Amino acid sequence: MILIAALWISVLLGAGGFALDRVLVAAVTTNADDQLEYVLRSLLVSAEIDTAGEVTFNREPADQRFLEPYSGLYWQVSAPGHEVFPSRSLWDRQIAYGAQHDDRGVHIYDSKQFGDEKLRIVERDVKLPGSPVRWRFQVAASREALDAQITVLRRTLVRSFVLLGVGLIILAALQTLYGLWPLRKVRMEIAKMRAGRTNQIAGDMPREVMPLVEEVNALVAHNETQAEEARRHAGNLAHALKTPLTVIMNAATAQSDDLADTVVREARTMRRQVDHHLARARAVGRRGSAHSRAQVWPSVESVERAVRRLYPHVRVDMDGPKDLVAHIERQDLDEIMGNLVENAAKYGGGSVFVTVAAQAGFVEIMVEDDGMGIPEADRIRIFDRGVRLDTGKPGTGLGLAIVRDVAEIYDGTVSLEESEDLGGLLVRLRLPMAG
Protein backbone atom coordinates (compact mmCIF):
# COMPACT_ATOMS: atom_id res chain seq x y z
CA MET A 1 0.00 0.00 0.00
CA ILE A 2 2.84 2.38 0.85
CA LEU A 3 4.66 1.64 -2.42
CA ILE A 4 1.49 2.09 -4.47
CA ALA A 5 0.73 5.36 -2.67
CA ALA A 6 4.30 6.58 -3.24
CA LEU A 7 4.16 5.68 -6.93
CA TRP A 8 0.79 7.35 -7.42
CA ILE A 9 1.85 10.50 -5.52
CA SER A 10 5.04 10.69 -7.62
CA VAL A 11 3.09 10.34 -10.87
CA LEU A 12 0.53 12.98 -9.89
CA LEU A 13 3.11 15.44 -8.58
CA GLY A 14 5.29 14.87 -11.65
CA ALA A 15 2.41 15.56 -14.01
CA GLY A 16 1.22 18.50 -11.95
CA GLY A 17 4.72 19.93 -11.67
CA PHE A 18 5.27 19.64 -15.41
CA ALA A 19 2.00 21.43 -16.14
CA LEU A 20 2.76 24.15 -13.57
CA ASP A 21 6.26 24.56 -14.99
CA ARG A 22 4.81 25.10 -18.47
CA VAL A 23 2.39 27.70 -17.14
CA LEU A 24 4.95 29.62 -15.06
CA VAL A 25 7.64 29.56 -17.77
CA ALA A 26 5.10 30.83 -20.28
CA ALA A 27 4.06 33.59 -17.85
CA VAL A 28 7.65 34.73 -17.22
CA THR A 29 8.47 34.62 -20.93
CA THR A 30 5.31 36.53 -21.83
CA ASN A 31 6.18 39.20 -19.26
CA ALA A 32 9.64 39.61 -20.75
CA ASP A 33 8.16 39.76 -24.27
CA ASP A 34 5.68 42.43 -23.17
CA GLN A 35 8.53 44.60 -21.95
CA LEU A 36 10.32 44.24 -25.27
CA GLU A 37 7.09 45.05 -27.12
CA TYR A 38 6.73 48.18 -25.00
CA VAL A 39 10.20 49.30 -26.04
CA LEU A 40 9.36 48.49 -29.68
CA ARG A 41 6.22 50.64 -29.54
CA SER A 42 8.25 53.46 -28.00
CA LEU A 43 10.69 53.31 -30.89
CA LEU A 44 7.85 53.32 -33.45
CA VAL A 45 6.22 56.33 -31.80
CA SER A 46 9.45 58.36 -31.72
CA ALA A 47 10.66 57.38 -35.24
CA GLU A 48 10.53 59.82 -38.16
CA ILE A 49 12.19 60.34 -41.57
CA ASP A 50 14.92 62.98 -41.89
CA THR A 51 15.71 65.02 -44.97
CA ALA A 52 18.04 62.30 -46.27
CA GLY A 53 15.25 59.73 -46.16
CA GLU A 54 16.74 57.87 -43.24
CA VAL A 55 15.10 56.96 -39.95
CA THR A 56 15.86 59.06 -36.91
CA PHE A 57 14.32 59.40 -33.46
CA ASN A 58 12.95 62.59 -32.05
CA ARG A 59 13.85 61.24 -28.59
CA GLU A 60 16.28 58.56 -27.54
CA PRO A 61 15.07 55.48 -25.55
CA ALA A 62 15.37 56.13 -21.85
CA ASP A 63 17.06 52.83 -20.91
CA GLN A 64 20.79 53.48 -20.43
CA ARG A 65 21.64 49.93 -21.50
CA PHE A 66 21.05 50.94 -25.11
CA LEU A 67 24.15 53.17 -24.76
CA GLU A 68 26.45 50.58 -23.17
CA PRO A 69 28.26 48.22 -25.60
CA TYR A 70 27.19 44.59 -25.33
CA SER A 71 24.84 45.44 -22.45
CA GLY A 72 22.36 42.75 -23.41
CA LEU A 73 19.62 45.15 -24.62
CA TYR A 74 19.63 46.29 -28.25
CA TRP A 75 17.55 47.89 -30.97
CA GLN A 76 18.04 48.19 -34.72
CA VAL A 77 16.20 49.70 -37.68
CA SER A 78 16.84 48.16 -41.11
CA ALA A 79 15.53 48.34 -44.66
CA PRO A 80 16.76 47.06 -48.03
CA GLY A 81 18.97 49.67 -49.77
CA HIS A 82 19.43 51.71 -46.60
CA GLU A 83 22.16 51.81 -44.03
CA VAL A 84 21.43 49.86 -40.84
CA PHE A 85 20.54 52.14 -37.92
CA PRO A 86 21.64 50.27 -34.70
CA SER A 87 21.76 51.13 -31.02
CA ARG A 88 25.16 51.94 -29.55
CA SER A 89 24.95 48.82 -27.37
CA LEU A 90 25.31 46.67 -30.52
CA TRP A 91 28.65 48.30 -31.11
CA ASP A 92 30.22 46.42 -34.04
CA ARG A 93 27.44 43.84 -34.48
CA GLN A 94 24.19 43.79 -36.40
CA ILE A 95 20.98 41.88 -35.91
CA ALA A 96 20.11 39.74 -38.91
CA TYR A 97 16.80 40.87 -40.31
CA GLY A 98 16.32 38.96 -43.61
CA ALA A 99 14.90 41.18 -46.32
CA GLN A 100 12.56 38.49 -47.61
CA HIS A 101 10.87 38.14 -44.24
CA ASP A 102 7.57 40.02 -43.83
CA ASP A 103 6.65 40.99 -40.26
CA ARG A 104 3.68 43.28 -40.57
CA GLY A 105 2.57 41.98 -37.20
CA VAL A 106 4.75 41.62 -34.14
CA HIS A 107 7.12 38.68 -34.53
CA ILE A 108 8.89 37.19 -31.50
CA TYR A 109 11.60 34.54 -31.70
CA ASP A 110 14.90 33.33 -30.24
CA SER A 111 18.22 33.79 -32.03
CA LYS A 112 21.74 32.36 -31.58
CA GLN A 113 23.47 34.58 -34.11
CA PHE A 114 25.72 36.18 -31.49
CA GLY A 115 27.26 32.84 -30.43
CA ASP A 116 27.30 32.51 -26.66
CA GLU A 117 24.74 35.28 -26.17
CA LYS A 118 21.24 33.99 -26.94
CA LEU A 119 18.81 36.69 -27.92
CA ARG A 120 15.07 37.15 -27.54
CA ILE A 121 13.99 39.34 -30.49
CA VAL A 122 10.78 41.28 -31.05
CA GLU A 123 10.41 42.83 -34.50
CA ARG A 124 7.85 44.48 -36.76
CA ASP A 125 7.79 45.96 -40.29
CA VAL A 126 6.19 49.40 -40.72
CA LYS A 127 6.00 52.25 -43.23
CA LEU A 128 6.74 55.64 -41.70
CA PRO A 129 4.95 58.79 -42.90
CA GLY A 130 6.80 60.43 -45.81
CA SER A 131 8.67 57.23 -46.76
CA PRO A 132 7.61 54.48 -49.19
CA VAL A 133 10.17 52.11 -47.64
CA ARG A 134 9.06 49.30 -45.28
CA TRP A 135 11.35 49.59 -42.25
CA ARG A 136 12.01 46.73 -39.86
CA PHE A 137 12.21 47.71 -36.22
CA GLN A 138 13.88 45.16 -33.95
CA VAL A 139 14.38 45.09 -30.20
CA ALA A 140 16.54 42.31 -28.75
CA ALA A 141 17.47 41.29 -25.24
CA SER A 142 19.86 38.68 -23.95
CA ARG A 143 18.05 35.55 -22.70
CA GLU A 144 20.52 35.25 -19.82
CA ALA A 145 18.32 37.13 -17.33
CA LEU A 146 15.16 35.38 -18.57
CA ASP A 147 16.81 31.94 -18.40
CA ALA A 148 18.14 32.73 -14.92
CA GLN A 149 14.60 33.56 -13.76
CA ILE A 150 13.28 30.34 -15.28
CA THR A 151 16.10 28.33 -13.63
CA VAL A 152 15.34 29.83 -10.20
CA LEU A 153 11.65 29.22 -10.76
CA ARG A 154 12.19 25.59 -11.74
CA ARG A 155 14.59 24.97 -8.88
CA THR A 156 12.07 26.34 -6.41
CA LEU A 157 9.29 24.36 -8.06
CA VAL A 158 11.24 21.08 -7.98
CA ARG A 159 12.30 21.54 -4.37
CA SER A 160 8.78 22.41 -3.32
CA PHE A 161 7.25 19.44 -5.12
CA VAL A 162 9.91 17.04 -3.84
CA LEU A 163 9.29 18.28 -0.29
CA LEU A 164 5.54 17.97 -0.84
CA GLY A 165 5.92 14.48 -2.31
CA VAL A 166 8.12 13.28 0.56
CA GLY A 167 5.66 14.74 3.05
CA LEU A 168 2.70 13.06 1.36
CA ILE A 169 4.51 9.71 1.15
CA ILE A 170 5.47 9.92 4.83
CA LEU A 171 1.88 10.84 5.67
CA ALA A 172 0.57 7.92 3.59
CA ALA A 173 3.05 5.58 5.26
CA LEU A 174 2.09 6.75 8.74
CA GLN A 175 -1.59 6.54 7.88
CA THR A 176 -1.15 3.02 6.49
CA LEU A 177 0.91 1.83 9.46
CA TYR A 178 -1.47 3.43 11.94
CA GLY A 179 -4.53 2.17 10.09
CA LEU A 180 -3.21 -1.40 9.88
CA TRP A 181 -1.77 -1.44 13.40
CA PRO A 182 -4.98 -2.92 14.89
CA LEU A 183 -4.54 -5.88 12.52
CA ARG A 184 -1.08 -6.43 14.02
CA LYS A 185 -2.72 -6.41 17.42
CA VAL A 186 -5.30 -8.92 16.18
CA ARG A 187 -2.48 -11.11 14.87
CA MET A 188 -0.72 -11.00 18.24
CA GLU A 189 -3.95 -11.85 20.04
CA ILE A 190 -4.47 -14.81 17.70
CA ALA A 191 -0.89 -15.92 18.43
CA LYS A 192 -1.74 -15.81 22.16
CA MET A 193 -4.83 -17.91 21.46
CA ARG A 194 -2.74 -20.45 19.55
CA ALA A 195 -0.26 -20.55 22.43
CA GLY A 196 -3.10 -21.23 24.88
CA ARG A 197 -2.68 -18.02 26.90
CA THR A 198 -6.17 -16.78 26.06
CA ASN A 199 -9.33 -18.07 24.42
CA GLN A 200 -10.52 -14.94 22.61
CA ILE A 201 -9.34 -11.63 21.19
CA ALA A 202 -9.48 -9.06 23.99
CA GLY A 203 -8.71 -5.38 24.31
CA ASP A 204 -10.05 -2.19 22.78
CA MET A 205 -10.14 -2.16 19.01
CA PRO A 206 -11.22 0.52 16.49
CA ARG A 207 -14.80 0.17 15.42
CA GLU A 208 -13.68 -0.63 11.86
CA VAL A 209 -11.95 -3.77 13.17
CA MET A 210 -14.58 -4.79 15.73
CA PRO A 211 -16.72 -6.75 13.20
CA LEU A 212 -13.63 -8.83 12.34
CA VAL A 213 -12.82 -9.36 16.03
CA GLU A 214 -16.41 -10.36 16.79
CA GLU A 215 -16.49 -12.82 13.90
CA VAL A 216 -13.15 -14.36 14.94
CA ASN A 217 -14.32 -14.68 18.55
CA ALA A 218 -17.59 -16.22 17.36
CA LEU A 219 -15.65 -18.66 15.16
CA VAL A 220 -13.40 -19.63 18.06
CA ALA A 221 -16.42 -20.11 20.34
CA HIS A 222 -18.10 -22.19 17.64
CA ASN A 223 -15.01 -24.36 17.23
CA GLU A 224 -14.73 -24.78 21.00
CA THR A 225 -18.37 -25.80 21.12
CA GLN A 226 -17.85 -28.35 18.38
CA ALA A 227 -14.71 -29.65 20.07
CA GLU A 228 -16.57 -29.97 23.35
CA GLU A 229 -19.40 -31.79 21.61
CA ALA A 230 -16.90 -34.11 19.97
CA ARG A 231 -15.27 -34.83 23.32
CA ARG A 232 -18.65 -35.41 24.91
CA HIS A 233 -19.74 -37.70 22.08
CA ALA A 234 -16.49 -39.64 22.33
CA GLY A 235 -16.98 -39.99 26.09
CA ASN A 236 -20.59 -41.04 25.68
CA LEU A 237 -19.65 -43.59 23.04
CA ALA A 238 -16.84 -44.94 25.18
CA HIS A 239 -19.18 -45.18 28.15
CA ALA A 240 -21.87 -46.85 26.04
CA LEU A 241 -19.42 -49.43 24.70
CA LYS A 242 -17.77 -50.10 28.03
CA THR A 243 -20.62 -52.12 29.52
CA PRO A 244 -21.19 -54.43 26.51
CA LEU A 245 -17.46 -55.05 26.23
CA THR A 246 -17.29 -55.86 29.94
CA VAL A 247 -20.16 -58.33 29.57
CA ILE A 248 -18.46 -60.01 26.60
CA MET A 249 -15.11 -60.11 28.45
CA ASN A 250 -16.66 -61.66 31.56
CA ALA A 251 -18.57 -64.24 29.49
CA ALA A 252 -15.43 -65.15 27.56
CA THR A 253 -13.32 -65.36 30.72
CA ALA A 254 -15.86 -67.59 32.42
CA GLN A 255 -16.21 -69.67 29.26
CA SER A 256 -19.98 -69.29 29.52
CA ASP A 257 -22.17 -71.72 27.60
CA ASP A 258 -24.17 -68.86 26.03
CA LEU A 259 -21.05 -66.94 24.93
CA ALA A 260 -22.15 -66.79 21.29
CA ASP A 261 -25.60 -65.43 22.18
CA THR A 262 -24.04 -62.93 24.56
CA VAL A 263 -21.59 -61.69 21.91
CA VAL A 264 -24.37 -61.28 19.33
CA ARG A 265 -26.64 -59.46 21.77
CA GLU A 266 -23.96 -57.11 23.06
CA ALA A 267 -22.61 -56.51 19.53
CA ARG A 268 -26.07 -55.36 18.46
CA THR A 269 -26.15 -52.99 21.41
CA MET A 270 -22.74 -51.60 20.48
CA ARG A 271 -23.79 -51.21 16.85
CA ARG A 272 -26.86 -49.21 17.87
CA GLN A 273 -24.68 -46.90 19.93
CA VAL A 274 -22.16 -46.49 17.12
CA ASP A 275 -24.92 -45.71 14.59
CA HIS A 276 -26.44 -43.15 16.92
CA HIS A 277 -23.20 -41.30 17.58
CA LEU A 278 -22.18 -41.41 13.92
CA ALA A 279 -25.48 -39.74 12.99
CA ARG A 280 -24.87 -36.99 15.55
CA ALA A 281 -21.28 -36.55 14.40
CA ARG A 282 -22.34 -36.15 10.77
CA ALA A 283 -24.95 -33.55 11.66
CA VAL A 284 -22.59 -31.62 13.93
CA GLY A 285 -19.93 -31.56 11.22
CA ARG A 286 -22.34 -30.20 8.60
CA ARG A 287 -24.31 -27.67 10.60
CA GLY A 288 -21.56 -25.05 10.46
CA SER A 289 -22.25 -24.50 6.78
CA ALA A 290 -24.32 -21.37 6.21
CA HIS A 291 -25.37 -22.85 2.86
CA SER A 292 -27.17 -25.85 4.35
CA ARG A 293 -30.44 -25.98 2.44
CA ALA A 294 -32.84 -28.78 1.69
CA GLN A 295 -36.09 -28.85 -0.27
CA VAL A 296 -38.62 -30.34 2.15
CA TRP A 297 -41.17 -31.76 -0.28
CA PRO A 298 -38.73 -33.86 -2.39
CA SER A 299 -37.37 -35.37 0.84
CA VAL A 300 -40.88 -36.25 2.05
CA GLU A 301 -41.70 -37.79 -1.31
CA SER A 302 -38.56 -39.94 -1.40
CA VAL A 303 -39.22 -41.19 2.14
CA GLU A 304 -42.84 -41.92 1.27
CA ARG A 305 -41.75 -44.06 -1.70
CA ALA A 306 -39.26 -46.00 0.44
CA VAL A 307 -41.79 -46.62 3.23
CA ARG A 308 -44.46 -47.71 0.75
CA ARG A 309 -42.11 -50.43 -0.50
CA LEU A 310 -41.31 -51.59 3.05
CA TYR A 311 -44.91 -51.46 4.26
CA PRO A 312 -47.20 -52.03 1.26
CA HIS A 313 -50.31 -52.17 3.47
CA VAL A 314 -49.72 -48.64 4.85
CA ARG A 315 -51.26 -45.62 3.19
CA VAL A 316 -49.19 -42.43 3.40
CA ASP A 317 -50.93 -39.15 2.54
CA MET A 318 -49.11 -35.81 2.20
CA ASP A 319 -50.23 -32.19 2.10
CA GLY A 320 -48.69 -28.72 2.14
CA PRO A 321 -46.72 -26.28 -0.03
CA LYS A 322 -44.05 -27.80 -2.22
CA ASP A 323 -41.58 -24.90 -2.23
CA LEU A 324 -40.48 -24.75 1.41
CA VAL A 325 -36.75 -24.90 2.08
CA ALA A 326 -35.29 -25.78 5.50
CA HIS A 327 -31.89 -24.87 6.92
CA ILE A 328 -30.57 -28.43 7.11
CA GLU A 329 -28.54 -30.80 5.01
CA ARG A 330 -30.63 -33.01 2.73
CA GLN A 331 -29.04 -36.20 4.10
CA ASP A 332 -29.97 -35.26 7.67
CA LEU A 333 -33.51 -34.30 6.65
CA ASP A 334 -33.92 -37.65 4.89
CA GLU A 335 -32.71 -39.45 8.01
CA ILE A 336 -35.13 -37.56 10.26
CA MET A 337 -38.11 -38.05 7.95
CA GLY A 338 -37.22 -41.70 7.41
CA ASN A 339 -37.28 -42.37 11.14
CA LEU A 340 -40.54 -40.50 11.72
CA VAL A 341 -42.51 -41.92 8.78
CA GLU A 342 -41.16 -45.44 9.28
CA ASN A 343 -42.12 -45.37 12.98
CA ALA A 344 -45.59 -44.11 12.04
CA ALA A 345 -45.99 -46.92 9.48
CA LYS A 346 -44.55 -49.56 11.82
CA TYR A 347 -46.53 -48.70 14.96
CA GLY A 348 -49.67 -47.21 13.34
CA GLY A 349 -52.80 -48.89 12.15
CA GLY A 350 -52.21 -48.45 8.43
CA SER A 351 -52.71 -44.74 7.85
CA VAL A 352 -50.01 -42.06 7.98
CA PHE A 353 -50.57 -38.37 7.24
CA VAL A 354 -47.67 -35.95 6.65
CA THR A 355 -48.37 -32.21 6.70
CA VAL A 356 -45.82 -29.54 5.71
CA ALA A 357 -46.40 -25.87 6.62
CA ALA A 358 -44.56 -22.58 7.20
CA GLN A 359 -44.83 -21.19 10.74
CA ALA A 360 -43.07 -18.03 12.03
CA GLY A 361 -39.73 -18.53 10.29
CA PHE A 362 -39.79 -22.29 10.69
CA VAL A 363 -40.74 -25.21 8.49
CA GLU A 364 -43.19 -27.31 10.48
CA ILE A 365 -43.62 -30.99 9.57
CA MET A 366 -46.32 -33.03 11.29
CA VAL A 367 -46.37 -36.82 11.02
CA GLU A 368 -49.61 -38.46 12.29
CA ASP A 369 -50.65 -42.09 12.50
CA ASP A 370 -53.73 -44.02 13.58
CA GLY A 371 -51.99 -46.27 16.05
CA MET A 372 -52.23 -46.55 19.83
CA GLY A 373 -50.22 -43.39 20.40
CA ILE A 374 -47.87 -42.75 23.34
CA PRO A 375 -49.10 -41.91 26.84
CA GLU A 376 -48.25 -38.38 27.91
CA ALA A 377 -46.14 -39.66 30.78
CA ASP A 378 -43.86 -41.52 28.36
CA ARG A 379 -43.49 -38.77 25.71
CA ILE A 380 -40.29 -37.40 27.24
CA ARG A 381 -38.76 -40.74 28.20
CA ILE A 382 -39.23 -42.12 24.68
CA PHE A 383 -36.52 -39.77 23.39
CA ASP A 384 -33.88 -41.49 25.54
CA ARG A 385 -31.50 -43.81 23.73
CA GLY A 386 -32.61 -47.43 23.61
CA VAL A 387 -36.09 -46.84 25.08
CA ARG A 388 -38.84 -48.82 23.28
CA LEU A 389 -42.45 -49.00 24.40
CA ASP A 390 -43.36 -51.80 21.97
CA THR A 391 -40.78 -54.55 22.26
CA GLY A 392 -42.77 -56.89 20.11
CA LYS A 393 -41.57 -55.30 16.89
CA PRO A 394 -37.97 -55.12 15.66
CA GLY A 395 -36.04 -51.93 16.26
CA THR A 396 -33.12 -50.31 18.01
CA GLY A 397 -34.88 -47.73 20.16
CA LEU A 398 -32.65 -44.99 18.72
CA GLY A 399 -34.98 -43.52 16.05
CA LEU A 400 -36.58 -40.69 18.05
CA ALA A 401 -33.34 -40.05 19.93
CA ILE A 402 -31.54 -39.52 16.63
CA VAL A 403 -34.39 -37.31 15.38
CA ARG A 404 -34.23 -35.13 18.48
CA ASP A 405 -30.43 -34.83 18.51
CA VAL A 406 -30.13 -33.98 14.80
CA ALA A 407 -33.02 -31.48 14.97
CA GLU A 408 -31.48 -29.71 17.98
CA ILE A 409 -28.15 -29.48 16.19
CA TYR A 410 -29.89 -27.35 13.53
CA ASP A 411 -31.74 -25.31 16.21
CA GLY A 412 -34.93 -27.24 15.60
CA THR A 413 -37.38 -28.96 17.97
CA VAL A 414 -39.34 -32.20 18.11
CA SER A 415 -42.43 -32.72 20.24
CA LEU A 416 -44.96 -35.53 20.64
CA GLU A 417 -48.71 -34.91 20.75
CA GLU A 418 -51.99 -36.71 20.20
CA SER A 419 -53.42 -36.67 16.67
CA GLU A 420 -56.92 -35.21 16.65
CA ASP A 421 -57.74 -36.52 13.17
CA LEU A 422 -56.29 -40.04 13.28
CA GLY A 423 -56.31 -40.63 17.02
CA GLY A 424 -52.73 -41.91 17.21
CA LEU A 425 -49.41 -40.14 17.70
CA LEU A 426 -48.56 -36.73 16.19
CA VAL A 427 -44.87 -35.84 15.88
CA ARG A 428 -44.32 -32.10 15.36
CA LEU A 429 -40.93 -31.31 13.83
CA ARG A 430 -39.84 -27.66 13.50
CA LEU A 431 -36.73 -26.68 11.50
CA PRO A 432 -35.43 -23.16 10.70
CA MET A 433 -36.54 -21.92 7.31
CA ALA A 434 -33.73 -21.17 4.88
CA GLY A 435 -33.62 -17.60 3.60
Note the residue count of the chain.
Answer: 435
- For 61-70, 126-135, 278-287, which range has the lowest pLDDT when averaged over its residues? 278-287
Confidence of residue 394 (pLDDT cuts 50, 70, 90): very low
Residue 166 confidence (pLDDT): 94
Amino acid (1-letter code) at residue 350: G
Looking at residue 226, its pLDDT comes to 74
3 state SS of 388: coil
In a 13 Å sphere around the CA of 243, the CA atoms on its Cβ side amount to 9
- Are 390 and 347 a contacting pair, CB within 8 Å? yes
* DSSP E strand boundaries for 92-233: 107-114, 117-127, 134-142
CATH 3.30.565.10 assigned to domain 294-432? The reply is yes
- Domain regions of the chain by residue span: 2-150, 210-286, 294-432
Look at the pTM and tell me if it is higher than 0.85. Answer: no
Residue 378 reports pLDDT greater than 90: no
Asked if residues 341 and 304 have their Cβ atoms less than 8 Å apart, the reply is yes
Q: What is the dihedral of CA 378, 379, 382, 388, to 10 degrees?
A: 60
- Beta-carbon contacts of residue 349 (< 8 Å; ≥ 6 apart): 369, 370, 371, 424
> Contact 9/168 with Cβ under 8 angstroms?
yes
- SS in 3 state form for 246-296? HHHHHHHHCCCCCHHHHHHHHHHHHHHHHHHHHHHHHHHHHCCCCCCCEEH
Which neighbouring-strand residues pair with 365?
356, 429
- Asked if the model's pLDDT at residue 170 lies above 70, the reply is yes
**For residue 12, what is the enclosing H or E element?**
helix 2-46
Q: What is the pLDDT of residue 286?
A: 55
| Closest to 157 measured CA to CA, from 50, 61, 253, 20 | 20
Least confident of 198-207, 319-328, 345-354: 198-207
pLDDT on residue 100 = 62
Q: Identify the band that residue 280 occupies on the pLDDT scale cut at 50, 70 and 90.
A: low
Residue 387 has pLDDT above 60, yes or no: no
Question: 355-365 burial, b if ≥16 CB within 10 A, otherwise e?
Answer: bbeeeeebbbb
Q: Which of 43-52, 398-407, 414-423 has the lowest mean pLDDT?
A: 398-407
pLDDT (tens digit per residue) in 177-193:
888 888 888 888 888 88
Q: For residue 325, is pLDDT > 60? A: yes
Alpha carbons 195 and 319: distance in angstroms, whole number: 55
Give me the amino acid identity at 153: L
Which of 144-158, 233-247, 395-409 tops mean pLDDT? 144-158
Average predicted confidence (pLDDT) for the chain:
85
CA angle, 431 as apex, 430 and 435 as ends, to 5°?
Answer: 135
pLDDT at 395: 41
Positive/negative CA dihedral, 184, 185, 190, 194: positive
Which of the listed CATH numbers 3.30.300, 3.30.160, 3.30.450, 3.30.70 matches domain 2-150? 3.30.450
| Inter-residue contact 183 to 197 (CB < 8 Å) | no
CA 77 – CA 137 distance, rounded (Å) = 5
Quick one: pLDDT band at residue 379, thresholds 50, 70, 90? confident
Comparison of pLDDT for 318 and 238, the residue scoring more: 318
C-alpha–C-alpha distance, residues 336 and 341, integer Å = 9
Q: Would the CATH topology of 2-150 be identical to that of 294-432?
A: no
